[in-house]
Amino acid sequence: MKNAGKIRAAGAMAAVLALAACQAVDGPPPRFGGPIAATPPPGGQFNGDWVSTDGVAISRFNNGYFETLATDTGNRLAEGNYSQTGPSSVSISVTSLIRQSTTQVNCAMVTQTQLNCTSSTGSQFSLIRRSGNVS
């Protein structure tokens, strides 16, 4: 049962990341710990750590790059890219490292601490911003 929750969370996160795949990307995605951009990053208000409501996974948004980690092991479950599509919306292209598949996800920031997301397959989930992570 514990693995089923991880797989669901990874699938949901993969769906979120998959949406950003529609965006053209030149070169590899930026990695954590890189230089700080002088201009506002793409999707900057979404930057930070977001936890799944079931607590199984944490998703890190960082200047257009996205990754999801299992909260219990720290293992990477998904990765991808995202781009801001409106004042409070983001499109994510999620590649599941477990299923080796890519899914598109659209999320709306309903508050500064909550994202409501829908995958291209119709799955819905929410992410809650981790404390101390408001950009």
Of 7, 16, 6, the C-alpha closest to 67 is 16
Count of H-run helices and E-run strands, the chain: 1, 8
Q: Which domains does the chain have, with CATH numbers?
A: 2-22+42-129 (2.40.128.290)
Tens-binned pLDDT, residue by residue, of the chain (135 aa): 555 554 454 444 443 333 333 333 333 444 444 444 333 444 578 999 999 999 999 999 999 999 999 999 999 999 999 999 999 999 999 999 999 999 999 999 999 999 999 999 999 999 999 876 444
* C-alpha to C-alpha distances, 34 to 26, 60, 65, 89, 130, nearest whole angstrom: 17, 15, 12, 25, 21
Contacts for 113 with CB less than 8 Å, ≥ 6 apart: 128, 129, 134
Are 96 and 16 in contact, with CB atoms under 8 Å apart? no
Are 128 and 53 in contact, with CB atoms under 8 Å apart? yes
Model confidence, pTM? 0.67
